Chains A and B, each alone.
Chain A
Amino acid sequence: MASYHMNELRTGTKILIDGDPCTIVDIDFVKPGKGQAFTRVKYRSLLTGRVNEITYKQSDAVEAADVTETEMQYLYNDGTSWHFMVPGSYEQHEAREAVVGDAADWIKEQDLCTVTLFNGIPISVTPPNFVVLEIAETDPGVRGDTSSGGTKPAKMETGAVVKVPLFIQSGEQIKIDTRTGEYVSRAKE
C-alpha cells in the first residue's frame, strides 16, 4: 500500500483514515518550545463529508487512498442504480442513489459529470457547474412583467425546484448554477 511521509502531505492529498478515504483540507506544522514537532491535519471524509482533525508525529506515515476523479457520461437510471460511462473507453460504472446524492437534481441522460472513484468504486458524483434544464411546471407569469425583481418556484424536468423570475414560463429552457441551485439566465438556443 502506498503511503505518505508527513513532509509529502499537501492540501488536497487523499489519505486513508480508519479505512475511509479522506481529503486534506488544512495542514500545519507545530513545535512547542523545545519540544518535538507534530503535524496537525484537518481532513474531510469523502464518504460522509464530515471534517475532523488528527495529529501525527513527524516520523509517522499515513496510507494513501486510491481516489481518482474521472469525467463520465450519465447514461440512465434503472430504478435502483445510476449508470455512468467513461467516454473514451466505454468502461461503465454503477452508482447507488446515496452516492449520486444532490447531483440527481441536476443531471440528465448524456450529461458529463465528475465521478469520484475509491478503489475503483464510485463514492460521489459532481454535476457540471452549469446545466440547462426544461421547466416542467410553474405558475403562469404576470403578463407584461418582464423585468421586476420578483421570483416564483419552478419545477424542473429532473424534479428539482428552482426560483425563477416571474416572466419565465413552463416549457422554457433555463441555465442553472448547480453549486448554488440558482437560476442564471434563459438558455440561448
Chain B
Amino acid sequence: MSADWRPAASLERLRLRAGLLAAVRAFFAARGVLEVETPVLAAATIPEVHLASLATRWRGPGAPEQGAVLYLQTSPEVHMKRLLAAGSGPIFQLARAFRDGESGRRHNPEFTLLEWYRPGFDHHALMDEVEALLAATLGAGILRAPAERLTYAELFSRHAGLDPHRAAAAELDAALAAAGVAAPALDPEDRDGRLELLLTHLIEPRLPAGRITFVYDFPASQAALARLRPGAGGEPPVAERFEVYVGPVELANGFHELADAAEQRRRFEADLAARRRLGLPTPPLDERFLAALAAGLPPCAGVALGFDRLVMLAAGAGALAEVIAFPIDRA
C-alpha cells in the first residue's frame, strides 16, 4: 500500500480558506491596520503554565558549540507588542503558531493565528471590531442571531447556577457531579481547573448555535496578559479579558493589554515558579519584551483568533482536519 499523500481538506475547502485570508486582509486594509510579520523562532517564549513550546537548536555563526535553543512561538504576541512599543500604530498578523501537546478535533500543534492590536481601544471596543470581522467573514448565513455579551459571572450564573468568583471548590465539584461529569482528581485548591471543566463540559454545549457569544471580565486568577480592574463595592477584581464563541466553538481570546513592565515581570516569575513546582521546562525570561514594556507600550487591546477554526465554522465542518491541507498526522 502506498503512503497516503493526499491533503486532508478538500480543494473546495482550501479555496474557501484562501478566500477568507483575502477577506481578512481586505477588512484590515480598509481600516488602516498594518499587516506585519514577526519571527516564528525566538530565544524566549511565553512561560504560561498551560502552554508548552516546541524548541529546536540553531547552530550557526554566533551560536555556542552545542547550538542555541530557539523556541517556536506559541503566538506572535511579544513581538507584536515590541512593534507597538516602537510606535507601529494598529497592526495585524496572520501568523503560524506552534503548541506542543495540542492535537484533537479542534487543535493542531501547528496552526494559524489571526492576531491584532488596537492602540486606544479597550476590550469592549475590540469586541465591537471582532464582531464586525466575523460579520464580514462568516456572514448572516452562519451568524443568524445578534451577538450576545456576558460577563464570566453572568455566564456561570445562567448556565451553571453559581458564582464563579466566590463558589468554593466543593460547590464546583457538586455542580460537576450534578451535570454528570466524571471529572479527574484535581488539586483541592484548583478552582480554575473546576471552572474550566464546567465551561467545556456543561456551558459550551449550551451556547446557542448561529450566534456570537462574548464572555468578558474573567476571574483575576485567569488574567494571563490582561489588565486587572479592582472590583467596586465589594465585588472581586476581574481581568479585562474576553473570549469569543461562535455557537459552542471557542474562537478567540482578547485582552485589554497589561502595559506595566513590573507587573508583567511578576506574572512571568510566578509562572516560572509554578513551572518549577510542576517539573516543567523553564524558558529564559524575555528581557527584550520586558524592556519594550518598560519603554512604554501604548494603552491598547489585542486579540488572537484561531484562523483554522474560523475556516471550520465557515465551511460548516466539525474538525480542523477538514480545513487544513496537511494536519499533523499526515504532515
Q: Which of B181, B192, B196 has the most CB of A within 10 A?
A: B196
A32 in the interface (beta carbon within 8 A): yes
Chain B residues with Cβ under 8 A from A40's Cβ? 201
A53 in the interface (beta carbon within 8 A): yes
23 A-B contacts (beta carbon < 8 Å): A29-B103, A29-B107, A32-B196, A32-B200, A32-B204, A33-B196, A33-B199, A33-B253, A34-B50, A34-B224, A35-B196, A35-B199, A35-B222, A36-B49, A36-B192, A37-B50, A38-B184, A38-B197, A55-B183, A55-B197, A57-B186, A58-B101, A60-B184
CA distance in complex: A29, B327 (Å) = 15
A4 in the interface (beta carbon within 8 A): no
A76 in the interface (beta carbon within 8 A): no
Known contacts A55-B197, A55-B201; decide if A33 and B250 are in contact (CB<8 Å).
yes
A54 in the interface (beta carbon within 8 A): yes
Instruction: Closest A residue to B243 by CB, please name it.
Output: A33
B1 in the interface (beta carbon within 8 A): no
Instruction: Closest B residue to A52 by CB, please name it.
Output: B182
Chain A residues with Cβ under 8 A from B260's Cβ? none
B129 in the interface (beta carbon within 8 A): no
B277 in the interface (beta carbon within 8 A): no
Give, as a whole number of angstroms, the nearest-CB distance from B103 to chain A: 6
Query: Told that A35-B222, A36-B196 touch, could you supply 9 new A-B pairs with CB distance under 8 A?
Result: A28-B104, A30-B200, A31-B102, A34-B222, A35-B199, A36-B192, A55-B182, A57-B184, A57-B186
* Chain B 87-126 per-residue mask, 1 if CB under 8 angstroms from chain A, else 0: 0000000000000011111110000000000000000000
CA distance in complex: A7, B201 (Å) = 20
Count residues of B near A (Cβ-Cβ below 8 Å).
29
Known contacts A38-B197, A55-B181, A56-B184; decide if A29 and B102 are in contact (CB<8 Å).
yes
Taking a contact as CB atoms under 8 Å apart, the answer to whether A36 and B50 are in contact is yes
Give, as a whole number of angstroms, the nearest-CB distance from A64 to chain B: 18
Instruction: Closest B residue to A7 by CB, please name it.
Output: B101
Within 8 A of A (CB), among B312-329: none
Give, as a whole number of angstroms, the nearest-CB distance from B276 to chain A: 16
Chain B residues with Cβ under 8 A from A28's Cβ? 104-105
Within 8 A of B (CB), among A29-72: 29-38, 40, 52-58, 60
Give, as a whole number of angstroms, the nearest-CB distance from B320 to chain A: 11
Chain B residues with Cβ under 8 A from A55's Cβ? 181-184, 197, 201
Taking a contact as CB atoms under 8 Å apart, the answer to whether B50 and A38 are in contact is no
Give, as a whole number of angstroms, the nearest-CB distance from A141 to chain B: 48
Instruction: Closest A residue to B187 by CB, please name it.
Output: A57
B193 in the interface (beta carbon within 8 A): yes
Chain A residues with Cβ under 8 A from B173's Cβ? none
CA distance in complex: A60, B105 (Å) = 20
Chain B residues with Cβ under 8 A from A34's Cβ? 48, 50, 222, 224, 253
Q: Which of A53, A57, A60 has the most CB of B within 10 A?
A: A57
Give, as a whole number of angstroms, the nearest-CB distance from B48 to chain A: 7
* Chain B 187-220 per-residue mask, 1 if CB under 8 angstroms from chain A, else 0: 0000011001101110010000000000000000
Chain A residues with Cβ under 8 A from B181's Cβ? 55
Chain A residues with Cβ under 8 A from B192's Cβ? 35-36
Give, as a whole number of angstroms, the nearest-CB distance from A45 to chain B: 13
Instruction: Closest B residue to A6 by CB, please name it.
Output: B101
Contact for B107 among A7, A31, A58, CB less than 8 A: A31
Chain A residues with Cβ under 8 A from B224's Cβ? 34
Instruction: Closest B residue to A17 by CB, please name it.
Output: B182
Chain B residues with Cβ under 8 A from A58's Cβ? 101
Give, as a whole number of angstroms, the nearest-CB distance from A42 to chain B: 11
* Chain A 116-152 per-residue mask, 1 if CB under 8 angstroms from chain B, else 0: 0000000000000000000000000000000000000
Chain A residues with Cβ under 8 A from B184's Cβ? 38, 55-57, 60
Contact for B193 among A30, A36, A52, A60, CB less than 8 A: A36
Q: Which 7 A-B pairs have the closest CB atoms?
A: A29-B104, A35-B196, A54-B182, A32-B196, A57-B184, A34-B224, A30-B200
Q: Which of A32, A37, A52 has the most CB of B within 10 A?
A: A32
Chain B residues with Cβ under 8 A from A29's Cβ? 102-105, 107
Give, as a whole number of angstroms, the nearest-CB distance from B104 to chain A: 3
CA distance in complex: A144, B103 (Å) = 63
